[in-house]
Structure 1
Amino acid sequence: MRRAYEEPEPDDGLRVLVDRLWPRGVSKEAAHVDEWPKGLTPSTELRRWFHGGGTYEEFRHRYETELEAPEAAELLDGLRKAARRGRLTLLTASKTPERSHAQVLLELLER
């Protein structure tokens, strides 16, 4: 997992942007994003709730529930398959990636 603002590294492998919104100030060329599965990102409502003062633990629970929806579950399964084939880097613009949806995804992929 890396911040989308960091320079790409040669060993990043498949670079997947896991944010619903494109990172501000980052050009598509500079980001070197291979995939952008918007259906895997938290809903706008959940994102607003979390940034409005919701707890990380409750956010995590609600997000994992959202990931059980058919489209999100299929996209998550696709990421799992990609991770088994080679290196996968999750990209996020979050200032605290370790307490974001990207961390939840990372942990789910590591299971």
Structure 2
Amino acid sequence: MAVRLKRVYDDPAPDDGFRVLVDRLWPRGLTKERAALGLWAKDAAPSTALRQAFHRDGLPWDEFEASYRAELAENPAVGALRDELARHPVSTLLYGAQDPERNHAVVLLDVLEA
């Protein structure tokens, strides 16, 4: 099982495999057709309070990452997502954030691969 990360606003590609949106909110201006999703795993995204603390209130990355890992450790959606990804040889986790290195999908991928 290979899992990749990609910004949801980037064009879908054949090598994306099974495409999974891992944001809690639907990306602005994106149609469902253009997103070309196999699954919207919004329950695996950070809680609304944590997302707002990071994006709106300026929670430092290290604190966000630790808090999100704690949420993921108790989130049954993580196991369900891991099981679904195991059914596909290649999957791509899609996120809307602009920063490719400091976003929740990076943390989620690390947890899924552990």
The two structures have a TM-score, normalised by structure 1, of 0.89
Mapping of 1:5-44 within 5 angstroms? Answer: 5-44=9-48
Q: Distance in 2 between matches of 1:76 and 1:61?
A: 20
Residue 75 and residue 97 in structure 1: after superposition, are their counterparts in 2 closer, same or farther (change >3 A)? farther
Q: Which runs of 5+ in 1 are unaligned?
A: none
Q: Distance in 2 between matches of 1:107 and 1:26?
A: 26
Partner of residue 104, structure 1: 107
What's the C-alpha RMSD, in Å, of the aligned pairs? 1.5
Give % identity: 47
Question: Are residue 67 (structure 1) and residue 99 (structure 2) matched?
Answer: no
**Contact 1:90 / 1:102 at 8 angstroms: preserved in 2?**
yes
The two structures have a TM-score, normalised by structure 2, of 0.87
Q: Which runs of 5+ in 2 are unaligned?
A: none
Greater fraction of residues in strand:
2
Residue 74 and residue 100 in structure 1: after superposition, are their counterparts in 2 closer, same or farther (change >3 A)? same
Question: Are residue 90 (structure 1) and residue 93 (structure 2) matched?
Answer: yes
Aligned residues: 109
